Chain A
Amino acid sequence: MSKLVIENVTRTFPGVHGGAPTDALVPTSLTVADNDFITILGPSGCGKSTLLRIIAGLDVPTSGRVLLDGVPVTGPSVDRGMVFQSYTLFPWLTIRENVCFGLRERGMPPARQQEIARHWLDKVGLTGFERHYPKMLSGGMQQRTAIARALANDPKILLLDEPFGALDNQTRSLMQELLLSIWESDRKTVLFVTHDIEEAIFMASRVVVMSARPGRFKADVAVTIPHPREYTVKTTPEFSALKAQLTEQIRVEAIKVAAMPAQP
């Protein structure tokens, strides 16, 4: 059964100061199956974040629609968890309170909230930091908390918008392994937006490549490397071949982007 269906979604941003409107997305369609891990790979400014925001219900498509389990998306909701590129933990709440935010919002008994928070903080390796404030934690730890916070809500699909983009390379690799191991144990449907080719291949069962603006899907590449994957798969011939193939795809688009005027 298909879970998330994106049907001919387009998004046009009105021109600023009388300028011409910008097409961020031209008719874009995608079907995400249950338990899939899909990465959307594209050059910066290709509209991949716009698409993810539309799926999350934070932005409205100009035309087309998004369906989750057959129900059209009309706004943000608990069934679509989101992890942002910027650090969006609530700075006035402790790590545990952050993870419990959604649970408390729906009126879950505190004891049950604590139990779920304990489970997810353990999964992301933050046991012992429950009472810390976000500011006291590193960027990687904050993003791990953000993942725990989104998953604690038990969404039908987890949306991630370049969540590791601001992290250093080593931390980023560890975060990829962590997210992948969580997916391998839970098989929660994941849609992950990135511009990092290695990241896209390592975690995904499918890599969808997006073109330069206006964004559309130009390639859909299955990654058949068996699970569980260790970081060592990054050096296998199979991985390298995929990387070479996607590098070519992305390079063409990046060249187009480089020739474009900057967008506001």
Chain B
Amino acid sequence: MKPLVPVSRARKIALGIAFFVVFVVAWSIATFGGFVSRTFLADPLTMLAEGWTLFAQYGFAKDVAVTVWRVLGGFVLAAAIGVPLGIAMGAYKPIEAFFEPFVSFARYLPASAFIPLLILWAGIGETQKLLVIFIGVFFQIVLMVAVIVGSTRRDLVEAAYTLGATASGIVRRVLLPSAAPQIAETLRMVLGWAWTYVIVAELIGASSGIGHMITDSQALLNTGQIIFGIIVIGVIGLISDFAFKWSNQRMFPWSLA
């Protein structure tokens, strides 16, 4: 192997799949071979069977739908407020000076630590779930968008000025389009974090959702269901990631090499 030499597409896919195979094989050996107690780790087949039971008998599809709804709800809410605020901060330095210190501080407030307070304020309904996700991703979005917009190439801004652009023209026709692909990429990343927060929110004080199913299964020591739940989250995350990547490539063909 030589450093940085690219691989062919077919080989890349084969290698990517190969690791999944290695992973499942190792898991099978550990469980079917009797190296790990069934109490602590279900084998792959049991996991699949439990997954089937979840969907067929326990209406797991509804839990999945509820969780997806919460993730999207919290994420869209945070993006709808965070992106414009981030753009304003990146473009206008006084606005940045006003918000930036607080946002930088708030970014480090752990969203999960807010759960007890949020339950107190908003109960254990949907509002609380959305708020956990909102707190978890909002400040990150604001800061990252502000940095992206603020780092727009100065020579492009200057070129626009010499072409007669006004201050608002600079924002609309230079800062926004220049930052758009990176903002979309940031949102893709942040959506992944939203998935982490929703499960945390659902582990405590929820009556539905994937996280709730996982806590229920824990009480029954059903590791097959827990693992199945985790894998479902992974698969949905992967799908949303692909969808985001695909739409970003469609929306910003100019940013591709």
Contact = CB atoms under 8 A, between A and B. Distances in A.
Interface of A: 56-58, 75-78, 80-82, 84, 86, 88, 90-93, 101-102, 105-106, 133-135, 146, 149-150, 153, 159
Contacts of B165: 101-102, 105
A52 B59 CA distance: 71
Contacts of B162: 56-58, 76-78, 80-82, 150, 159
Contacts of A80: 162
A92 B163 contact: no
22 contacts: A56-B162, A57-B161, A76-B162, A77-B162, A80-B162, A81-B162, A84-B159, A88-B156, A90-B156, A90-B174, A91-B255, A92-B177, A92-B180, A93-B177, A93-B254, A101-B163, A105-B169, A105-B173, A106-B164, A133-B253, A134-B254, A153-B163
Nearest to A94: B254
Contact of B255 (A92, A101, A102): A92
A154 to B, nearest CB: 11
A76 B158 contact: yes
Interface string B127-169: 0000000000000000000000000010110111111111001
Interface residues of B, number: 23
Name, among B162, B169, B180, the residue most crowded by chain A CB atoms within 10 Å (CB to CB). Answer: B162
B155 A149 contact: no
A76 B257 CA distance: 32
Name, among A90, A93, A159, the residue most crowded by chain B CB atoms within 10 Å (CB to CB). Answer: A90
A105 B158 contact: no
B252 interface: yes
* Chain B residues touching A, majority SS: helix
B250 to A, nearest CB: 14
Name, among B161, B174, B180, B257, the residue most crowded by chain A CB atoms within 10 Å (CB to CB). Answer: B161
Nearest to B156: A88
Nearest to B164: A78
Contact of A102 (B164, B174, B254, B257): B164
B159 A88 contact: yes
Contacts of A84: 155, 158-159
Contacts of B166: 105
B215 interface: no
- Would you list the 7 A-B pairs with minimal beta carbon distance, nearest first? A102-B163, A78-B164, A76-B161, A88-B159, A82-B162, A92-B177, A133-B254
A149 B158 contact: no
A194 to B, nearest CB: 18
Contacts of A134: 254
Contacts of B254: 91-93, 133-135
Given A90-B174, A90-B177, A78 B252 contact: no
Contacts of B158: 58, 76, 82, 84, 88
